[in-house]
Structure 1
Amino acid sequence: MHNVLKTLTHSTCCVSICYALFSSLLPLPYHEVPEGRDQVLFYSPAHPHLWDPAQDMKQRRGSLLAPPTAMATMVAQKLSHLLPSLRQVHQMPRPSVQPEPVFTVDRAEVPPIFWKPYIYVGYRPLHRTWRFYFRTLFQQHNEAVNVWTHLLAALVLLLRLAIFVGTVDFRGDLHALPLFIIVLASVTYLSLSALAHLLQAKSEFWHYSFFFLDYVGVAVYQFGSALAHFYYAIEPAWHAQVQTFYLPMAAFLAWLSCAGSCYNKYIQKPGLLGRTCQEMPSALAYALDISPVVHRILVSPNPAMDDPALLYHKCQVVFFLLAATFFSAFVPERWFPGSCHVFGQGHQLFHVFLVLCTLAQLEAVALDYEARRPIYEPLHTRWPHNFSGLFLLTVGSSILTAFLLSQLVRRKLSLDRKTQ
């Protein structure tokens, strides 16, 4: 029992000493002292009004020698003054950083250039920061599905390219260059499309400019598809018929498709003229690009057994025709106006079927590259340098066309602001 009391006494003394040291370090407010009193202007927890140094020293010295029970009571009283102030500090309001609000507006609050047929809400406001529009990648609006369909497809194709790099000698095998170009062209058009749908709401100028870049990506993909079909999928009989003009004509039609789409976007004519400028060059380009595949399907006697790549070629044709139908018809939103603001738009279905077309096409081309080498090697002895030059010419001319039309847009918008 004696040892227990001794231990308790030592513990209480230690607590008292720590509290005395702690209280001496606290920032203490002061009170005014009446004249004639030789006292220091500080506050003491034991004496809430005035502090006498000599008297306080006696009290502190006495507190160190106080009995354990009295010591514990004194410590509890002194801590009771301290705890409310700590609670007040904990409850003090802290400044919070609120994120920039992300919201959508109806189409009456955006210029007509941004309007979609039969889509009335879900538009993003203009003239926000670039960070705002990048953050809308994870928000719900009427372009969200269009962004994600092509963004995810681009990531899948990058993974497919990584697999190709492990199995195909792109550096040493000249016959592998068209395969690399079609994969690169596919990733390009998917990435530019996702970027255009994500950032086009920044302003009218950027709306035009990003969709011009989107059309550049489409032109690059058109020529890449034509090159892959001409190099790997073509039959010798069809090659003999078209070899002199196929690739130059494919490059020209790819550029014409880009120029027509950009011009249609610039003039903003929804009637026959606009559709002719955009859709006629694209239809002609596709008819030429797919002709080696169609000829091969028609002349193959038993494709299911002898030519497994033909199944993928058939799928890519079907998927492309479905994509073109949804692109042109604006269905199903035409049937349900005002009900397809986020999901169910025809352009979204166009994206989905175009992605399926691209994936089926790449699988078919990869199979042809591996299995048809004895057929295509004798046909292409002088083409690598020629088609590389045509590919760069298509890319350069399409970018230049998009840039020139973007400058016309800038001038047009500047004149419109001056006349307002």
Structure 2
Amino acid sequence: MPRVSFAPPSLCFTFLPLLDRLLPSLPPTVRDVDVPPLFRERFILSGYRPVGLSWRCYVLSLFQIHNETLNVWSHLVAAVCVALRFMMFTILQGGGILGFRLQGPEGQGFSVDVSSLPLVLYVFSAITYLSCSAAAHLLQSHSEHAHYSLFFLDYVGVAVYQYGCALALCLYSSDTAWTQSMVGQVFLPAAALLAWISCTTCCYAKLRFRRPYPLHRKLCQVLPMGVAYLLDISPIAHRLATQSWTSNSALTLHFMQVALFLLSAFFFSCPIPERFSSGRYDIVGHSHQLFHILLSFCTLAQQEALFHDFLWRRPALVREFGQEHLLLACTSFPCLTLCCMMTALTMRRRAQAQLTKEQR
């Protein structure tokens, strides 16, 4: 009987060393006592990546099992879903986003459609915050300086998303009664200010307080974001309170995204369930992972609701708000982004100076 050989072909011996160089074996995860206090999370005892490895190791840890894996993948997948859903929406609706038309009486061509700019900025803000969050959780273990820098970038993404939501909700999801109210008149400037304050206070709290974190560190993060959310969601709250949900399918989606956001805020604020069983939920199931997953679904539900509202409001948007007002509102978006980035860079320099002083 002829022998059957299971030896790999010689070609494999050629590519295996190359593959090993490109994808080096990553060091195993370690316990909390093996990393500096800055990188530890309460009640999470294992699954930490060693500090001080090469950047390539942390990039490749995307495919490793550790206590940040679900944090990274939940927002990374959500960012891809947001982008793909937006592309599908523009195609299924016959184009028209920013004036690019795939069909219609005007034929093909390109022109700037001001009424769609807030929707584009919203999608950009959602992808920005999801991508910044995924990058921060993936790469932050490289060093203390990288940890501060990446989470400052994460807070910039959150602030940009806050204002992207406010802009879209104000222009697409509000009704006439809310728009003419006192809150509606000052909404966008107040939303921009609160988004910047949220970014600043989160950066300050990250830099100022050390573990074990005091209660006012969490309050410094949560209170400004909570106030900003109450303002940003006010046009939706008004519609949910005054309109029949059966008359508009978007309202059900808006209620869903509000419920998901409140549930995610609970898990962001409370270390549950890991508080009651330290070490059991290190890899899967701890509160920050639940926060990420719920927030991802919240973003997808909000995007879908805004698509409905965009189609509902778009025909009369320019007539109601005026082209100049829409352009001014959209121009405020990059201005806010620049202010938040400058704040984060300032905090980054302060963090670098603080780390240098501590190492002397």
Pair 1:252-2:193 in alignment: yes
Q: Distance in 2 between matches of 1:298 and 1:291?
A: 10
Secondary structure of the residue that 2:225 maps to in structure 1? helix
Pair 1:388-2:315 in alignment: no
Pair 1:170-2:110 in alignment: no
Pair 1:223-2:163 in alignment: yes
Secondary structure of the residue that 2:223 maps to in structure 1? helix
Q: Distance in 1 between matches of 2:341 and 2:315?
A: 37
Deviation, 1:379, is 2.9
Pair 1:358-2:299 in alignment: yes
Q: Distance in 1 between matches of 2:241 and 2:185?
A: 22
Name stretches of at least 5 consecutive residues in structure 2 with no aligned partner. 1-9, 100-112
Task: Map residues 74-93 of structure 1 onto 2, 5 A cutoff.
Answer: none
Contact 1:316 1:357 (8 Å CA) reproduced: yes
Deviation, 1:100, is 3.9
Secondary structure of the residue that 1:330 maps to in structure 2? coil
C-alpha distance after superposition, 1:72-91 (max 9, x if no partner)? xxxxxxxxxxxxxxxxxx9x
Pair 1:271-2:237 in alignment: no
2:357 is matched with: 415
Secondary structure of the residue that 2:189 maps to in structure 1? helix
Deviation, 1:344, is 0.5
Counterpart pick for 2:41 among 108, 116, 120: 116
Q: Distance in 1 between matches of 2:72 and 2:315?
A: 41
Contact 1:216 1:395 (8 Å CA) reproduced: yes
Counterpart pick for 2:86 among 161, 164, 169: 161
1:404 is matched with: 346
Larger Rg: 1 or 2? 1
2:235 is matched with: 292
C-alpha distance after superposition, 1:20-77 (max 9, x if no partner)? xxxxxxxxxxxxxxxxxxxxxxxxxxxxxxxxxxxxxxxxxxxxxxxxxxxxxxxxxx
Deviation, 1:377, is 4.3
Deviation, 1:375, is 5.8
Contact 1:320 1:354 (8 Å CA) reproduced: yes
| Paired AA for residue 139 in structure 1 | Q
Pair 1:125-2:66 in alignment: no
TM-score (norm 1): 0.74
C-alpha distance after superposition, 1:299-324 (max 9, x if no partner)? 00x322x1111010000100000000
Deviation, 1:273, is 2.5
2:252 is matched with: 311
1:63 is matched with: none
Task: Map residues 3-152 of structure 1 onto 2, 5 A cutoff.
Answer: 99-152=24-77
Deviation, 1:165, is 3.5
Secondary structure of the residue that 2:321 maps to in structure 1? coil
* Identity across the alignment (%): 42
2:107 is matched with: none
| Paired AA for residue 407 in structure 1 | R
Contact 1:313 1:361 (8 Å CA) reproduced: yes
Deviation, 1:155, is 0.8
2:266 is matched with: 325
Secondary structure of the residue that 1:221 maps to in structure 2? helix
Name stretches of at least 5 consecutive residues in structure 1 with no aligned partner. 1-89
Q: Distance in 1 between matches of 2:278 and 2:160?
A: 34
Q: Distance in 2 between matches of 1:401 and 1:351?
A: 25
Q: Which has the higher contact order (CA 8 A, sep 6+)?
A: 2
Task: Map residues 338-377 of structure 1 onto 2, 5 A cutoff.
Answer: 338-373=279-314, 376-377=317-318
Pair 1:233-2:186 in alignment: no
